[in-house]
Amino acid sequence: MRTPIASPLFALFFAAAAAAQSPSTAPAPAAPDAVDDAAIAFFLEEGLQRSQVMEHLSWLCDVYGPRVTGSPNLRQAQQWATQTFTEWGLAARTEKWGPFGRGWRCDHVMMAVVGDNPWPVIAYPKVWSPGVEGRIEADVVHVATMTKEALLATDLTGKVVLLEEPRAISEPFNGYTKRMDEKELLRLADPKVAEPQSPAERAAQARGDNDFRMGFPRREEMLAIVQQKRPLAIVDRAAKGDYGTVFVQGASAANPPGTPRSERKRANAVDADVIPQFTIAVEHYNRMCRLLAKGRPVRLALELKVSFFDEDLFDRNVIADLAGGDPVIGGEFSMLGAHLDSWQSGTGSTDNGCGSAVVIEATRLIAAYCKKTGIKPRRTLRSCLWSGEEQGLLGSRAYVADHLGTAKEPKPEHGKVAGYFNLDNGTGRIRGVYLQGNEAVAPMFRSWLRPFHVQGASTITLDDTGGTDHLAFHGVGVPGFQFIQDPVSYSTRTHHSNMDVWDHAVADDLKQAAVVMAAFAWQTAQRDTKLPRQAVPAAVEGEPRGGRAGAGAGR
């Protein structure tokens, strides 16, 4: 059962947002938009009492998961979504973008320590890792503590290389799962103007806050040396995770020494040189390191069978339109979206099957309301499911380039987008909206959130957030927003891990998120004018700003 946020907290939120409007520094606030009570009432009843969101998620995860960009599973998920939208009366299609590169699928994997004291290893291959021929056994070498000179002098041919130091594990006495509390929400709502940061500034900030990133240059140099020595396989452990939870993403291609970063081939390139790479459970990684430190040999048995798909190097976005009925603004767009692609070890539930299922359900709610009442949205409602997000917002950025252009060189559709709303922070319920520094939308968003205070959604913050597809729109001056969500177990358990599965999605949270997302898309479609726009700083135009480590534009 949810605990509604106390009404005094609402007053603080409202006061904080009002305080942000200084006559000398802020634009004149727009009048709060009237809420379409009839539509919101329908969304709440249909979305909370007869929700289909978990069924959508089951199709995406249980049937079509995981959904690696370029893989057959993603193709089938895109086809299913297109057909589903079509059955609800939308004009749905897929749009090609790219070229992206090869698709990939893991068909079989096995890793085990063999010898006098054998034991199985929890291991996952990295995406675009090649397979090995049958069952192979090899000795393990730990190189993390070697000097550069020692590493250069070590023969790694036919060996399995452990690349990193062991990682200490702390028991989770405080638990993994959490809701945002009043203190955190108040901190977000505290009035402040978001200062745009360049990618370099954000990278420097990340390096200062993250010990793992401080060691990145050394690790990168070690990896390059190891790859030149052609070992049988490279094994690492993630920077987080325990109790068998494995966080794993993509393989690294071997590039000639001194290749500039901008010219390095990605592992999905057709002609990329890639050595088999695995991420394993940290407990198993640590045990191997301890055995080797005692002078005890470790020998691994490996099996890895994979399939590559290079007959079509392009990928696709799913686009579905519910046509606007207003003769003047019907050709404009109220947009909502999420990324459909995932990594490979789980089934892509919280990242980002949940967001995609919510977009699909929000679209169903709006289509059902229109069918029941005969009312059409004034603007066209456009629902989007992106691919290639995990490799750098590739699908949404391709859409923006093709449809919108840039702020300096806009295409005709640039001026037709009223606003874009995105969901990509796991299964957690919506608590509010990141305004991306756009003060002018605060009054209307505050008004639109009021029907959902009892559902725990009441916070607006001028803060920006990064790492996902709203940045493609925001970066060219189109209003693009990501919702604030409860973290639940996203960063601690499910994000890019083997536990990113349907069972860890919270049904009530996704129902609430679908209703809120439907309401925001509908209100944007119905208002007289498009959402207010911001000027785009020249230093960041078209560039993804911000980002969670390992996600999106780096995600």
Does residue 485 share a domain with residue 363? yes
Q: Does 283 map to a domain?
A: yes
Tokens of 55: 């069924």
Q: Does 543 map to a domain?
A: no
Check if the beta carbon of residue 274 is closer than 8 Å to that of residue 128.
yes
215 three-class SS: coil
In sequence order, which residues have a C-beta less than 8 Å from that of residue 76 and are 6 or more positions away?
63, 64
Does residue 397 share a domain with residue 305? no
Q: In this structure, which amino acid lies at residue 468?
A: T
Cβ atoms < 10 Å from Cβ of 59: 18
Does residue 327 share a domain with residue 294? no
CATH number (domain holding residue 450): 3.40.630.10
Q: Which of 134, 309, 138, 153 is nearest to 225 (CA)?
A: 153
Of 309, 336, 363, which marks where a domain is finished? Answer: 309
Instruction: pLDDT tens for the chain, 555 residues: list them.
Output: 433 333 333 333 333 333 333 333 334 444 557 899 999 999 999 999 999 999 999 999 999 999 999 999 999 999 999 999 999 999 999 999 999 999 999 999 999 999 999 999 999 999 999 999 999 999 999 999 899 999 999 999 999 999 999 999 999 888 888 898 888 888 888 766 545 555 555 444 443 443 333 466 788 889 999 999 999 999 999 999 999 999 999 999 998 877 888 899 999 999 999 999 999 999 999 999 999 999 999 999 999 999 999 999 999 999 999 999 999 999 999 999 999 999 999 999 999 999 999 999 999 999 999 999 999 999 999 999 999 999 999 999 999 999 999 999 999 999 999 999 999 999 999 999 999 999 999 999 999 999 999 999 999 999 989 899 999 999 999 999 999 999 999 999 999 999 999 999 999 999 999 999 999 999 999 999 999 998 876 545 554 433 333 333 333
Check if the beta carbon of residue 20 is closer than 8 Å to that of residue 26.
yes
The number of folded domains in the chain is 2
Q: Which of 531, 498, 532, 35 is nearest to 243 (CA)?
A: 498
Distance CA 470, CA 484 (A): 13
Of 309, 335, 350, which marks where a domain is finished? Answer: 309
Q: Does 12 map to a domain?
A: no
Query: What pLDDT is recorded for position 29?
Result: 42
Does residue 113 share a domain with residue 93? no
Q: Which domain holds residue 472?
A: 27-100+314-526
Structure-derived torsion over alpha carbons of residues 58, 60, 65, 68, reported in degrees to the nearest 10: -160
**pLDDT per residue as tens digits for the range 148-194:** 999 999 999 999 999 999 999 999 888 888 898 888 888 888 766 54
Check if the beta carbon of residue 122 is closer than 8 Å to that of residue 244.
yes
CATH number (domain holding residue 292): 3.50.30.30
Output the pTM of the full model: 0.88
**pLDDT per residue as tens digits for the range 17-73:** 333 333 333 344 445 578 999 999 999 999 999 999 999 999 999 999 999 999 999
Check if the beta carbon of residue 459 is closer than 8 Å to that of residue 484.
yes
Helices (H), 59-193: 72-87, 148-153, 182-189
Does residue 287 share a domain with residue 257? yes
Distance CA 495, CA 488 (A): 11
Q: Does 462 map to a domain?
A: yes
Check if the beta carbon of residue 333 is closer than 8 Å to that of residue 289.
no
Residue 85 to residues 12, 93, 238, 337, 537: CA-CA distances in angstroms? 41, 9, 38, 13, 37
Query: What pLDDT is recorded for position 13?
Result: 37
In sequence order, which residues have a C-beta less than 8 Å from that of residue 413 and are 6 or more positions away?
333, 403, 404
Taken in order 513, 177, 501, 54, the sign of the CA dihedral is negative
Query: What pLDDT is recorded for position 554?
Result: 33
Does residue 234 share a domain with residue 382? no
Backbone phi, psi, residue 233, to 5°: -160, 160
Q: Does 76 map to a domain?
A: yes
Does residue 226 share a domain with residue 119? yes
Does residue 393 share a domain with residue 423? yes
Q: Does 185 map to a domain?
A: no
Query: What pLDDT is recorded for position 194?
Result: 47
Tokens of 397: 């950025």
Q: Does 258 map to a domain?
A: yes
Query: What pLDDT is recorded for position 30?
Result: 42
Distance CA 521, CA 373 (A): 18
Does residue 386 share a domain with residue 431? yes
Backbone phi, psi, residue 280, to 5°: -125, 165
Does residue 498 share a domain with residue 349? yes
Does residue 441 share a domain with residue 337? yes
Of 265, 280, 309, which marks where a domain is finished? Answer: 309
Query: How many residues does the structure list for the chain?
Result: 555
Tokens of 115: 């010898």
Q: In this structure, which amino acid lies at residue 398?
A: A
Q: Does 186 map to a domain?
A: no
Does residue 463 share a domain with residue 336? yes
